[in-house]
């Protein structure tokens, strides 16, 4: 009897009536401890949700040792019922996401333009919660499909919550909210077959695109490497729409919001992204988690583009059209603050899953523009969250609740957590002196003059040019980036089974750039160029904007990135130390990979543990690799597929490779050739220099690009 009692059993818990019977059974089998396991230490008392202490959390209430379970077992029923309801409906878009806590610090006051204190009090740190997401895939889908990324930030300001709910691309597929359900239906898995998951490479998406020329600008961005971020820490964020900043005199200025990563923009290659889907489903989530846990806090600058109504009138496009961006060359960016993410959530569900962002959450001094896409969003988010989070009181969930005092006369409803006191739940009232009232300093909508046009389902004529900025984007790219866009289009359209859809897309591309259309047509094996559809407005040649490139915006740094070092028995201990020190001094993480996790015995006899086992740690998860092998190990690993793939992929993904003589035997087996990025492991300076970028000049040698 004594042996079945766990040391951690709560003192207050009395063995229930069935205890002795079960224990006799257990004792007879001699495994009583197995059925009443408990870790040692000082644990709080385990209770039901009603606070009733439990004496047994491992055995249900049964009618005898081999009899049926009893309905009476309220403990089992409560536990299973709660479990049955552990999932809530996932977001219809942006279901897969990763979030983190941090702060926003204002470095430059926008007092001239706004009365929002979050943008006027320099030095003040406002708590934030940021969530990054893919759009199309379900909550359990992979982190690295070709997809737009959500970039949503909740600022818990002293004047209420401000949510900046943006993407990592500054434009959107459509101009009017009316088309949102259609574009989303078209990109998500096809309804009859239930695939593909998390990808746009299928007929329904491209069918929608082919019939909606307004998508062409965003399609150029989506086919670029912007949709293949290397890390969530290395992507930009954009508020997309024009917002209004309003000062204390009611004067308004338009503002576009930009997040710029401290580590610069970095992307993966398509082949790498596909292989990452197998190597690590959680590549981005893990990367964000590890960076925060190791104290390398991700950081972004917040910048704004500010322009007046009159300046906007002179733009060669309509800034209220979300398929258009305001080039930096036209309106420069002003950096006003920084966001640092320094705390991983304590609980994924309670925080990252239950967080509810809403573009209509603005504070006094920030207001909306008439962008018809933004206007539709103002309704949608609260509506979807009512069903996702189960009722009208989800603002009380800790992750959603304002951190400043809040009070109103809304009452009751599902999951009301507060206990409002008093008689007065209406306004005006004279019965209770402390009931909340509106204040003259509160939020007031900007008195935007309206034109006197007639009511109607209309699209502004100023929204009609669908190709000029698509052309500007494509022509602003570097040669490798243009090749990636062409190749991405060939890949995606090769997955489209319907010939007329493929042809229609190539037709649109003729308006974007005739050479691009030709490349894609050749890549698809089309013998003749399909006709271009009529364009409502003749595409313009806008000046190129180098700020739209990734390559031009990459930072010449290895900060925040990761280098894999492959070793085996007999590897040179001094070389390992030198490479590792160089990598870490450059601000990157050195990760030792070996055929066995226990590591390898280095040439001096020291046993070096590995961080990753070769078969489960392919080079796709690194930014550069070093191959440090004895001759014997080089020969052995040249016959090992995982090792050969390790170097073959590093070469194919244009990564810097440092090697010694033993490593060269493996490189040969992996078909690695010579170029500036393949360096001697002894020359750590050259290795670090090469590792800071990709070897773009190698690309034509390793793959056929469209």
User: In angstroms, rounded to a whole number, what is the distance separating the alpha carbons of residues 261 and 493?
Assistant: 32
Residues in the chain: 706
Q: Which of 166/480 has CB closer to ligand HDE?
A: 166
Give the residue ranges of DSSP H helices in 244-320: 270-279, 283-293, 309-314
Q: Which of 298/507 has CB closer to ligand HDE?
A: 298
User: In angstroms, rounded to a whole number, what is the distance separating the alpha carbons of residues 235 and 237?
Assistant: 7
Give 421's contacts (C-beta < 8 A, 6+ positions apart).
none
State in angstroms the smallest separation of the CB of 270 from ligand HDE: 23
Give 79's contacts (C-beta < 8 A, 6+ positions apart).
none
Q: Which of 165/516 has CB closer to ligand HDE?
A: 165
CB-based contact 673:651 (threshold 8 Å): yes
**Which tokens sit at 532?**
């271009």
**Rounded to the nearest 10 degrees, how much is the dihedral formed by the CA atoms of 91, 92, 98, 101?**
-50
Q: Which of 240/578 has CB closer to ligand HDE?
A: 240
User: In angstroms, rounded to a whole number, what is the distance separating the alpha carbons of residues 686 and 576?
Assistant: 16
State in angstroms the smallest separation of the CB of 337 from ligand HDE: 19
Helix (H) or strand (E) holding 47: none
Give 683's contacts (C-beta < 8 A, 6+ positions apart).
658
Q: Which of 376/612 has CB closer to ligand HDE?
A: 376
Q: Which of 323/684 has CB closer to ligand HDE?
A: 323
State in angstroms the smallest separation of the CB of 237 from ligand HDE: 9
CB-based contact 300:342 (threshold 8 Å): no
State in angstroms the smallest separation of the CB of 343 from ligand HDE: 17
User: In angstroms, rounded to a whole number, what is the distance separating the alpha carbons of residues 424 and 411?
Assistant: 11
State in angstroms the smallest separation of the CB of 141 from ligand HDE: 15
State in angstroms the smallest separation of the CB of 180 from ligand HDE: 4
Q: Is the dihedral of CA 217, 219, 224, 225 positive or negative?
A: positive
Tell me how many degrees the CA angle 211-214-215 measures, rounded to the nearest 5: 80
Q: Which of 173/467 has CB closer to ligand HDE?
A: 173
Helix (H) or strand (E) holding 18: none
State in angstroms the smallest separation of the CB of 332 from ligand HDE: 22
Q: Which of 58/396 has CB closer to ligand HDE?
A: 396
**Which tokens sit at 680?**
């001697």
Give the residue ranges of DSSP H helices in 410-558: 468-476, 479-494, 499-512, 514-524
Catalytic residues: 94, 167
Q: Which of 414/701 has CB closer to ligand HDE?
A: 414
Closest CA to 340 of 368, 300, 373: 300
User: In angstroms, rounded to a whole number, what is the distance separating the alpha carbons of residues 286 and 280?
Assistant: 9
**Which tokens sit at 685?**
């300076």
User: In angstroms, rounded to a whole number, what is the distance separating the alpha carbons of residues 253 and 255?
Assistant: 6
Q: Which of 135/336 has CB closer to ligand HDE?
A: 135
Closest CA to 157 of 116, 115, 126: 126
Site residues (vs ligand HDE, CB under 6 A): 91-94, 97, 131, 133, 150, 152, 165-167, 172, 177, 180, 240, 322, 356-357, 373, 376-377, 380-381, 384-385
Closest CA to 176 of 413, 374, 453: 374
Let me know if 460 is exposed, middle or buried by CB neighbors in 10 A (0-12, 13-18, 19+): middle
User: In angstroms, rounded to a whole number, what is the distance separating the alpha carbons of residues 339 and 301?
Assistant: 6
Q: Which of 348/696 has CB closer to ligand HDE?
A: 348
State in angstroms the smallest separation of the CB of 89 from ligand HDE: 10
Residue nearest to ligand HDE according to CB distances in the complex = 150
Closest CA to 678 of 637, 706, 705, 650: 650
CB-based contact 42:11 (threshold 8 Å): no
State in angstroms the smallest separation of the CB of 135 from ligand HDE: 8
Per DSSP, 267 falls in state B
Q: Which of 177/654 has CB closer to ligand HDE?
A: 177
CB-based contact 131:99 (threshold 8 Å): yes
Specify the residue for token string 């962002």.
Answer: 357
CB-based contact 560:587 (threshold 8 Å): yes
User: In angstroms, rounded to a whole number, what is the distance separating the alpha carbons of residues 660 and 667?
Assistant: 10
State in angstroms the smallest separation of the CB of 541 from ligand HDE: 27
User: In angstroms, rounded to a whole number, what is the distance separating the alpha carbons of residues 346 and 325?
Assistant: 37
State in angstroms the smallest separation of the CB of 227 from ligand HDE: 14
State in angstroms the smallest separation of the CB of 401 from ligand HDE: 16
Q: Is the dihedral of CA 56, 62, 65, 66 positive or negative?
A: negative
User: In angstroms, rounded to a whole number, what is the distance separating the alpha carbons of residues 407 and 257?
Assistant: 30
């Amino acid at each position: 009897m004594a042996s079945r009692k766990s040391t951690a059993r709560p003192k207050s818990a009395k063995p229930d009536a069935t205890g002795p019977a079960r224990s006799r059974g257990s004792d007879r089998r001699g495994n009583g401890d197995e059925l009443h396991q408990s870790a040692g230490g000082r644990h709080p008392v385990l209770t039901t949700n009603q606070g009733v202490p439990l004496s047994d959390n491992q055995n249900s209430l049964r009618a005898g040792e081999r009899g049926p379970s009893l309905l009476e077992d309220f403990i089992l029923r409560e536990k299973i019922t709660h479990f049955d309801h552990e999932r809530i409906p996932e977001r219809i878009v942006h279901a897969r996401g990763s979030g983190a806590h941090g702060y926003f610090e204002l470095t430059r006051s926008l007092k001239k333009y706004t009365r929002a204190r979050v943008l006027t009090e320099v030095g003040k740190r406002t708590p934030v919660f940021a969530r990054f997401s893919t759009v199309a895939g379900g909550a359990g889908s992979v982190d690295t499909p070709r997809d737009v990324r959500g970039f949503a930030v909740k600022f818990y300001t002293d004047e209420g919550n401000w949510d900046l709910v943006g993407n990592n691309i500054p434009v959107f597929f459509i101009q009017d909210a009316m088309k949102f359900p259609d574009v989303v239906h078209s990109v998500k898995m096809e309804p009859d077959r239930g695939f593909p998951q998390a990808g746009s490479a299928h007929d329904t998406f491209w069918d929608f695109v082919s019939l909606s020329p307004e998508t062409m600008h965003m399609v150029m961005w989506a086919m670029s490497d912007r949709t293949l971020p290397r890390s969530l820490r290395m992507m930009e964020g954009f508020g997309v729409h024009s917002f209004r900043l309003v000062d204390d005199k009611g004067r308004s200025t338009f503002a576009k919001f930009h997040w710029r990563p401290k580590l610069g923009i970095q992307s993966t290659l398509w082949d790498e992204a596909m292989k990452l889907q197998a190597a690590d489903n959680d590549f981005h989530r893990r990367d964000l988690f590890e960076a925060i846990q190791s104290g390398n806090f991700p950081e972004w600058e917040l910048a704004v583009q500010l322009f007046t109504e009159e300046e906007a009138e002179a733009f060669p496009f309509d800034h209220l059209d979300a398929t258009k961006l305001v080039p930096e060359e036209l309106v420069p960016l002003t950096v006003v603050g920084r966001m640092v993410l320094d705390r991983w959530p304590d609980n994924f569900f309670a925080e990252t899953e239950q967080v509810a962002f809403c573009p209509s959450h603005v504070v006094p001094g920030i207001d909306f523009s008439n962008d018809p896409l933004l206007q539709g969003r103002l309704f949608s988010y609260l509506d979807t969250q009512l069903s996702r989070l189960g009722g009208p009181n989800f603002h009380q969930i800790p992750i959603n609740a304002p951190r400043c005092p809040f009070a109103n006369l809304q009452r009751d409803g599902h999951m009301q957590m507060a206990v409002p006191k008093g008689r007065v739940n209406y306004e005006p009232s004279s019965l209770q002196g402390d009931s909340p009232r509106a204040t003259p300093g509160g939020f007031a909508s900007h008195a935007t003059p309206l034109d006197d046009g007639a009511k109607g389902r209309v699209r502004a004529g100023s929204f009609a040019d669908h190709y000029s900025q698509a052309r500007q984007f494509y022509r602003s790219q570097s040669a490798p980036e243009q090749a990636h866009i062409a190749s991405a289009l060939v890949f995606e359209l090769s997955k489209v089974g319907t010939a007329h859809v493929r042809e229609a897309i190539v037709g649109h591309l003729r308006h974007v750039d005739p050479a691009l259309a030709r490349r894609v047509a050749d890549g698809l094996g089309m013998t003749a160029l399909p006709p271009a559809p009529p364009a409502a407005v003749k595409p313009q040649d806008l000046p190129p904007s180098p700020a739209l490139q990734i390559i031009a915006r990459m930072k010449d740094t290895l900060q925040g990135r990761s280098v894999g070092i492959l070793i085996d028995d007999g590897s040179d201990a001094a070389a390992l130390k030198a490479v590792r020190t160089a990598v870490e001094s450059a601000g990157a993480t050195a990760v030792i990979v070996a055929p066995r996790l226990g590591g390898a015995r280095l040439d001096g006899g020291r046993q070096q543990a590995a961080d990753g086992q070769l078969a489960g740690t392919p080079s796709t998860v690194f930014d550069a690799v070093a191959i440090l092998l004895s001759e014997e190990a080089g020969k052995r690993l040249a016959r090992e597929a995982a090792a050969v793939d390790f170097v073959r992929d590093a070469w194919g993904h244009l990564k810097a490779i440092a090697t010694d003589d033993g490593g060269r035997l493996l490189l040969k087996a992996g078909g690695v050739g010579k170029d500036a990025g393949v360096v001697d492991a002894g020359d750590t300076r050259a290795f670090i220099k090469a590792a800071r970028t990709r070897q773009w000049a190698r690309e034509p040698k390793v793959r056929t690009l469209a």
